[in-house]
Amino acid sequence: MQNKKNVNRKKNRIKAGNDASLAIYLFKNRSKKGVVKVFSMVLILGLCFTIIYPILKLVPIVFSSIEDLGNPNVIWIPLRNSTVSFKAAIRLVMPDGAMTIVKSVAYAAGIMVIQVFFSAMVGYALARVDFPGRKLVFVLVIVVFLLPRQSLLLSQYIYFTHFDVFGIMDLFTAAGEIKLINNPIALVMLAVFGFGVNQSLFIFLFSQFFKNIPKELEEAALIDGCGFYRTYFKIMIPNAVPIISTVGILSFVWNYGDTYYTNYFNPEGAYMSTLLSSTFTSANKEYIQNALRTWYEIPLVTDIAFDAVKQAAVLIFLIPLAVVYLIGQRKLVENMENSGLVG
């Protein structure tokens, strides 16, 4: 009888010890998770504050009256609300009014379509077509991506200044060449031949995506009687919607904000990005201040007014990008969820 009691006591001690160990383990595990959650929340809030803070600081500047700029009493809320900064920005960088933004968006959208179309074909060829020199072409794509754009500028500029293809221009022009500088065709040709804004990166992304598509899809399409082009357009492209969306958004954003190619190859084009970069320079500061005095009869205009107008112009410039982001983000997530063939 005594032995049974001792055995039961030992079992109870072991059970109590196991329960205590389990409780300690659960406490440690929950504590770790809690610390990780708190750290993640603090990190996220810190990043959000870092990103949003400059935008919040714009509010009392761009929506404030020009006379109140520089007032130490104005911190977060303007003393007098005004849209003079936006009106001045529109007069300075939007000579055609809303059509300036429309033209910029149309340009970026057109180049985006061209880049996606040709980058997808090149990426598919590098991923699926076994042709001589395929590896060399792929290496050249990577090299073009790694090279600074400035290293190719001189040759590209000379080529478009004296544009001629194997002497064919002799048949159509007396000079035997055509000058394509300050012509949007030059930007279109760059996109067609794979030298557009970050286009080598797009080719690489398409190539890596098509490599991950199962070959059984092509084999099944071949058995069903699909040729090479039909397989590409009917099978591959529908399954490439996620990467097309990604590349399309990146292409639009980068081309809309590009000032490098547009300044060199079409400097007189009505692009918002080039108008912003050329208008709000240090050399034009005095001109803009005088314009504010004359247009809106403001006696005192400081350097802060110049910054306010510039920041208002930047906010106007960002409106299409914000719209594309809000629409594209949802589409991108939906495409990722609905694409069940590529993991």
Q: Could you report the per-residue pLDDT of 115-162, keeping only the tens digit for each?
A: 999 999 999 999 888 888 888 988 988 888 888 888 888 888 888 887
Dist CA 291 CA 285 (whole Å):
10
Its pTM stands at: 0.78
Instruction: Determine contact, residues 106/271, Cβ cutoff 8 Å.
Output: no
Q: Regarding the domain with residue range 84-338, which homologous superfamily does it belong to in the CATH classification? A: MetI-like (1.10.3720.10)
Residue 178 bridge partners (DSSP) = 163
Model confidence at 341: pLDDT above 50: no
Q: Could you tell me the end-to-end alpha-carbon distance of the chain, in angstroms, rounded to an integer?
A: 66
pLDDT: which is higher, 71 or 16: 71
How far apart CA 231 and CA 238 sit, in angstroms, is 10
Helical H runs in 178-302? 184-192, 199-211, 215-223, 228-231, 237-239, 241-256, 260-265, 272-279, 285-296
SS3 call for 107: helix
User: 100-114 b/e with 16+ CB inside 10 Å = b?
Assistant: bbeebbebbbebbeb
* Out of 13-27, 40-54, 174-188, 209-223, least confident range: 13-27
Res. 45 pLDDT band, cuts 50 70 90 = confident
From its phi and psi, is residue 97 left (phi > 0), alpha (psi between -120 and 50) or beta?
left
Closest C-alpha to 278, from 292, 259, 306 = 259
pLDDT at residue 169 above 70? no
Who wins on pLDDT, 168 or 301?
301
Q: What is the pLDDT of residue 202?
A: 92
Between 20 and 237, whose confidence is greater? 237
- Say what percent of the chain tops pLDDT 90: 9
Interatomic CA distance for residues 61 and 312, integer angstroms: 9
Helix-helix angle 272-279:84-93, to 10 degrees: 110
Residue ranges per structural domain of the chain: 2-62, 84-338
Residue 21 has pLDDT above 80, yes or no: no
Summarised one tens digit per residue, pLDDT across range 256-301 is 988 888 888 888 887 888 888 888 888 888 888 888 888 888 777 7
